[in-house]
Structure 1
Amino acid sequence: MASPSASSATLSLESFDIDDPHSPVSFVLLDENNNEQRDPSPPSLTKPSLNVETELDPCLLKSVLSDGPHTNTVILPDHYTNPHCVHSQYTLSPSMRAALDPDPGILKAVLSDGNNIYNERINKAVANRRETALSMLPHAPMPDFPVSDMSSEFGPNSIRVLCGSKVGITTPLMETIREGLHENMSTLLEAGANPNGVPLQVMEDYAAFFLRFRPMIPAFTDEEGDVASREELLKCMDLPQISSITLEEVEDRLYEGTQPFFCEEAFTPTAFYHHGESMPSLVEAARYGSIDMFDMLLEAGADASFWMSPQFYVPDPPSESSLSVSSPLHAAIQNRDNDMLRHLLDIDLDPNVMPLANPTRCFTPLMATVIYSENFNKYAFDLLCSYPETNAEVRTPIYGVHLLHFAVAALNLDILKHVSSKVPLRNAGTTALGHTLLHIACMPSDALEVQRHSEVIYKSIHETRDLHARNDPYAHCAPDRSCDPVFGLQFEQQTAVVKFLWDNGITGVEQRDVHGNTPLHYLVGCRSVNQELLTWWLEKPNINKIWRECLNNYEATPEEMFYSGERAQKEGANGWRPWFKRSWTEERVKRKQEIWRALLGENARRQL
């Protein structure tokens, strides 16, 4: 067998069966002739041949049999112990990269001897620098070459917390879960890896981004941190996180911008940091569909307490599961993994669980079957309904949204019929913002569909039925569009849903929401109006009176909004308009920041 190159540190495994994760491991450093080194001398410090900025190629890591005196040998590639690679905080640590390798010997080698080899290499490099400095300036004071302790980078609990990076929030355990490597998981847990995947403090810091009433999230949070700890922010708040929607939150929706009907504008996405939505480890295991790994984590002590019974608030002190912005059930539904979903329900996870750490955007697993699926996961919906503990009448905690509101927002008659076969339509009622099923059916599909070049429409329409829960990309300025998209199929679906609701007793066209809007106001607020549905409705008794006389909070009737939208359409609906300037919103944000600056005082970690 060819000798290992100078760019590889070679470790021998004595009396070790690679197929047995419980076998004792003893690593011995070998020289280039495959002989045991009595006085180990590390390979020379050369520039690594592997570019660690790019995605790791698992083919570069191999387990080989030695023809020397040792039975098994693991060749540890240079990038695991080369100081040029190990020091980077913007790539995966050596133990994270080893956790991704299907060869279990690589991970065991890194955990056992990786740090020792690294220290030998760095010490030799420091000695070379000292000699070089002394030879260049023999009479100068000896320069200091401080060496950082990098042992954690080779350990089972190394961690990265990076915003705006593909690395995101991760540890060796989380990496091996994503790769589905059972033996590596066992190795990490035996080596002392946190079975929750990430430290509780990291989860608490991440959950702070989703608090209601909080100050603006600063830029570069991974480098300079948040404005204050989650605990400190909560101390400054008068109201609990799970409480009724406030007048201030309603006012934040007025005048400018749009948002989904079930959450606020300018919310923090659950994937604010890459992998942030997948914490802790049980959520990641459920997302990647490994029942065995999920059960292994539970046996190792991973926290699932918050998901096992009905919860009404995040406990104090919080647990890992209570700080998650998702849950194993939601992850399984999002991945359309019905086998995992059944397993989770069979081991008694609460079928009504909501991730309350994200209070304004949480929903039940039953709601998730509608929200997450472009194609309705009927099996998952029926499976959840088959468990007697499932409660289809649960509403979201802040905005009071019912399962049926989400079903209508999908604008799919088959979904609505199936859901309403389990839950009567009359049970939906109104949301905390006053939206009925008809309001939601008539809303624009997303922010792009609102006719913003009409000032009265721009100031009247602030909710859409967008289930993707994405922030309004056109909040500051409407897009220039010379023509509208074709809404033919959408109009057919909208008409079918509204007529189904009407035929089943949902006829409250006169009902108004917090903006004073009726369903007709929303119907005519679109850049392309469903004329067929509008004509059908206006032929109904008493609808013409609502059409001509029902004023919203901005003193506009549906009829006035309709003709204003037509004028904007004829004028081309392009270019900037004075009302696009969000001065009202900007002033409110500025005032809130001033309040928070006073509340936090010296407890602020950074300037607001």
Structure 2
Amino acid sequence: MTDHFVPYTPDDISMEYHQLLGSFLPQGESDKGPTLCAAESKDPSAWLTILQRSLGLSKRDQSDFVLDFAYGEDMASQMWDTPLLRAIVSKNMENVHLLLEHGANPNGVDCDSQASYARRFRRVKSATVDVRDRIVQISQEDVGDSTTQLLTLSNDELARRTSTISPFWAFPDALPLGYSENGDLLHSVLMAARTTTEILEVILRAGADGSAWTTSQPDELPSEDLLRPSALCVSTPLHAAIDSGNALVLDALPDRGFNSNARALIAGCQALTPLQHAVVHDKPELYQRLAVHPLADSSIVTPVLKVHVLHFAIAQLDLNLIDVIGLPLSAAMPTALGHTLLHVACMPRDESQLQMFAPKVRQSVHDMRTLHVQQQSWPAAIYQLALPRAGQTELPAEDGPADYPTRLPRMNWLPLEERVERSETDRLLGMPAVDDFNRQLAVIQTLVMEPGPAETLKIDIYGNTALHYLASSRIVNDDAVAWLRKQEHGDQVWRTAANRWGWTPSDVWKDNVTTIEPAQESLRYVNTRGGRSRRGIAGTLTRGRR
């Protein structure tokens, strides 16, 4: 019997092609696929084999599914990784060369992915889009154009701040720039800045775009459609080098034409200069290395909120960092919210240290000195009426710290050491340590003694003085309040300086220290006269006012 030749049909060819195409894709949720594995492999034959097999694909499919394949743990998310980025982060120079020679995108990521991620940081957003939802694709219709990023603070934005609490330097709904994996590294040059100068040179010679980081910064951003790939990134190579502690690349970048003041303006109020970024991330040695460059400018303030590098240093209560920066305190003007350096030093560190159960505190204080933005939205609900009802103790006989020597025996105050963190658990819950108070007092003294006592009179856009912020902490730094009250104008401010809601620092303090948090026994300011213990009174009041 003779075998008859049966030719391939179009369907057979299509099936064979799709099987070939499928062989390059991940097989399951935890599988990155053969292209990424080969790109980071130290065996160059692994990537050569991938390339040889991919010759059977069309040029477009070879680009989309092999050379520039974008991988994410959740394919609908923005957690991108590509073969070129993987080869760079693995410091696999041979595979970097192979990818670029065979036509991989030298920028490492396509512009659509960069733009989609950058939209999560727009000031103007549709009320129907949740930029924190990782699986949502953000379109241009969901957010305002990039031209809005550098506009001055609007009245609506100011009003929105009074309904919640925010970092003093960012918006209430701000996302961390690294919200998604590699989100702040969506460019080959950014990834290369974390590795070696040799890899950086190869990427730049291949034609990777760095125009946004090598030219002077504009005062206005053009429309998104006109932005080059580097301008769509929420970070810069200098920031990436600082994050990784890569001093060699940081030194090399300005010499290779990169602007030592480059910022990712697409990130809006989070567009810090490299000098500011080094301070925020507590890298004083890298600040010094960059500051010696003749074009490095420490006077630049952030877009929109106008925050100076000294504000970021003061927020950390670190006088050594102030010395490293080496600028006079007068170099920092008040921010767009009216915050002086003294305001920032006196703010609660974060929401865990704010007495949010006290109505006058909640009404008055809307900023904190933390230098981090949260993965989750700031708890706006804590400023609404849905809070559990708090109890109250009787009003104290005195008017605040510094009164007790004459108006209340010191023995009736719970000692400072008993009101602050006593264990690692307390530290994790956010309660300040005694040392934090000592550092805060030292910074406050420096900020008042150098410019003069008139600093205590200055108010922000809410009408708050520095003493309003000190009075709002769950555990008040009594020594700092007492010291400020003893300065010229200090006691007058404490008793008479009313904010826009009509509350003086003394009013805020009384509301604070007489509040007993729901479902807790207060270990704060409870009078023990009459033979009852602090714990007994607190427990009785808490139970009686549910």
Pair 1:164–1:455, CA change in 2 (3 A):
farther
Alignment gaps of 5+ in structure 2: 1-18, 391-417, 421-430, 523-546
Query: How many Å apart are 1:84 and its aligned residue?
Result: 10
What RMSD in Å do the two structures reach over aligned CA positions? 3.1
The offset of 1:314, in angstroms, is 3.5
> Shift of the alpha carbon at 1:542?
2.1
Mapping for residues 371-520 of structure 1, pairs under 5 Å = 371-373=280-282, 377-419=283-325, 421=326, 423-470=327-374, 474-477=379-382, 485-507=431-453, 508-520=455-467
Question: In the TM superposition, what whole-angstrom CA distance separates every residue of 1:202-245 from its partner, at most 9, and x where no partner exists?
Answer: 1112212211112253379776632x327x8446x9x7321111
1:426/1:223 CA distance change after superposition, 3 Å = closer
User: In the superposition, relative to structure 1, how do residues 404 and 189 fare at CA in structure 2: closer, same or farther (>3 Å)?
Assistant: same
Aligned 1:159-178 pairs, distance under 5 A: 159-160=70-71, 168-178=79-89
Aligned residue in 2 for 1:536: 483
Shift of 1:89: 7.7
SS of 1:561's equivalent in the other structure is helix
Aligned equivalent of 1:583: none
Residue identity over aligned pairs, in percent, reads 28
Which residue number in structure 2 is paired with residue 205 of structure 1? 116
Match of 1:592 in 2: none
Q: Which amino acid aligns with 1:109?
A: T
Other-structure match for 1:349: 258
The equivalent of 2:185 in structure 1 is 278
Q: 1:416 to 1:315 in 2, by over 3 A?
A: same
Cα offset, 1:348, TM superposition? 2.1
The residue type paired with residue 176 of structure 2 is P
Instruction: Work out the CA distance in 2 between the residues paired with 1:92 and 1:80.
Output: 17
Cα distance in 1 for partners of 2:506, 2:132 equals 48
Distance 2:199 2:460 in 1: 47
2:19 equivalent to 1:113: no
Distance 2:227 2:466 in 1: 42
Quote the residue 2:241 is aligned against. 332
- Contact 1:89/1:160 (8 A) holds in 2: no
Tell me the distance in 2 between the aligned counterparts of 1:199 and 1:89.
23
Aligned pair 1:156/2:102, yes or no? no
Residues 98-247 of structure 1 correspond to what in structure 2 (within 5 A)? 98-113=38-53, 116=56, 151=62, 154-160=65-71, 168-216=79-127, 217-218=129-130, 225-226=137-138, 228-229=139-140, 233-234=143-144, 240-247=148-155
Task: Name the SS of the counterpart of 2:230 in structure 1.
Answer: helix
Distance 2:149 2:133 in 1: 22
The residue type paired with residue 335 of structure 2 is T
| Conserved 8 A contact 1:163-1:220 | no
Q: Is this contact kept in 2: 1:93–1:153, CA < 8 A?
A: no
Q: Distance in 1 between matches of 2:465 and 2:63?
A: 60
Q: In the alignment, which residue of structure 2 is the partner of 1:590?
A: none
Structure 1 pair 389/476, CA: closer, same or farther in 2 (3 Å)?
Answer: same
Paired AA for residue 190 in structure 1: E
Answering whether residue 155 of structure 2 is matched by residue 250 of structure 1, we say no
Q: Is the 8 A contact 1:392 1:403 kept in 2?
A: yes
CA contact (8 A) 2:349 2:370 kept: yes
Distance 1:152 1:389, change over 3 A: closer
What TM-score do the two structures reach when normalised by structure 1? 0.69
In the alignment, which of 259, 283, 300 is matched to residue 206 of structure 2? 300
Question: Counterparts of 1:318 and 1:540 in 2: how far apart (Å)?
Answer: 52
Q: CA deviation at 1:533?
A: 1.0
Contact 1:308 1:350 in 2 (8 A): yes
Amino acid of the residue matched to residue 296 of structure 1? V
Number of residue pairs matched? 456
Distance, in Å, in 1 between the alignment partners of 2:230 and 2:246 is 21
Q: Are the equivalent residues in 2 in contact too, given 1:487–1:528 (CA < 8 A)?
A: no
Q: 1:496 to 1:479 in 2, by over 3 A?
A: farther
Q: Deviations over 1:144-199 (max 9, x none)?
A: xxxxx975565211113566999811111011111111111111101100000001
What aligned pairs does 1:574-593 form with structure 2 within 5 A after superposition? Answer: none
Asked if the contact 1:95–1:110 (Cα under 8 Å) also holds between the matched residues in 2, the reply is: yes
Q: 1:278 to 1:299 in 2, by over 3 A?
A: same
Match of 2:497 in 1: 550
Deviates more, 1:311-320 or 1:519-528: 311-320
Q: SS in structure 2 opposite 1:357?
A: helix
Aligned position for 2:175: 268
Larger CA Rg, structure 1 vs 2? 1
Distance 2:293 2:61 in 1: 50
1:93 aligns with 2:4: no
Q: Provide the C-alpha distance between the structure 2 equivalents of 1:311 and 1:157, rounded to a whole number of angstroms.
A: 30
- Give the counterpart letter for 1:262 in structure 2: W
Q: What TM-score, normalized by structure 2, do the two folds share?
A: 0.77
1:561 maps to 2:508: yes
CA drift of 1:476 comes to 2.8
Alpha-carbon distance in structure 1 between the residues aligned to 2:208 and 2:199: 11
CA 1:319/1:386 → structure 2, altered by over 3 Å: closer, same or farther? same
What is the deviation of 1:257? 2.4
Could you tell me whether the CA contact under 8 Å between 1:165 and 1:274 is conserved in 2? no
Cα–Cα, structure 1 residues 173 and 294, in superposed 2: closer, same or farther, change >3 Å? same
* Residues 1:163 and 1:315: Cα distance change in structure 2 (over 3 Å): farther
